[in-house]
Amino acid sequence: QVQLEESGGALVQAGDSLRLSCAASGRTITFYYMAWFRQAPGKEREFVAAITNSGSGTVYADSVKGRCTISRDNAKNTVYLQVNSLKPEDTAIYYCAARGGFSWNNYPKPDAYPYWGRGTQVTVAS
């Protein structure tokens, strides 16, 4: 079973950039598709981005497409989310998630991921 821990969240100004990290332990992440989700106060958890085991395939939510890049370093057992041109509406807790298998089936649905970190807070001031 894999354990996940996010870091890199901060209070930033609109237009700034952040790189979030998700460090895994307990098992190599090469077995997992990895994803980032976020949850703003009073809203449901929403999909941000996902990446295949090898890193050769990625997918993004329309709300972040062009501003976000998900990547992974399997040797370091770590996944990253680079977010540029941050907006106040990006304010949320950002969660890292993992799922086994080799399929994009149901990739935007939180229920498709059995493993989660505790999240890291991103706050964007206008």
The tens digit of pLDDT for each residue in 47-93 reads 999 999 999 999 999 999 999 999 999 999 999 999 999 999 999 99
Q: How far apart are CA 83 and CA 85, in angstroms?
A: 7
Whether 21 has a pLDDT exceeding 90, the answer reads yes
Candidate from 27-31, 40-44, 99-103 with smallest mean pLDDT: 99-103
Angle, CA 83 vertex, CA 47 and CA 70 arms, to 5°: 60
Distance CA 101, CA 115 (A): 13
Q: CA-CA distance, 90 to 39, in Å (whole number)?
A: 9
Residue range 110-117: mean pLDDT, rounded: 96
The predicted structure's pLDDT at residue 105: 85
The band of 102, judged by pLDDT with boundaries at 50, 70 and 90, is confident
DSSP letter, residue 89: G
Residue 121's pLDDT is 98
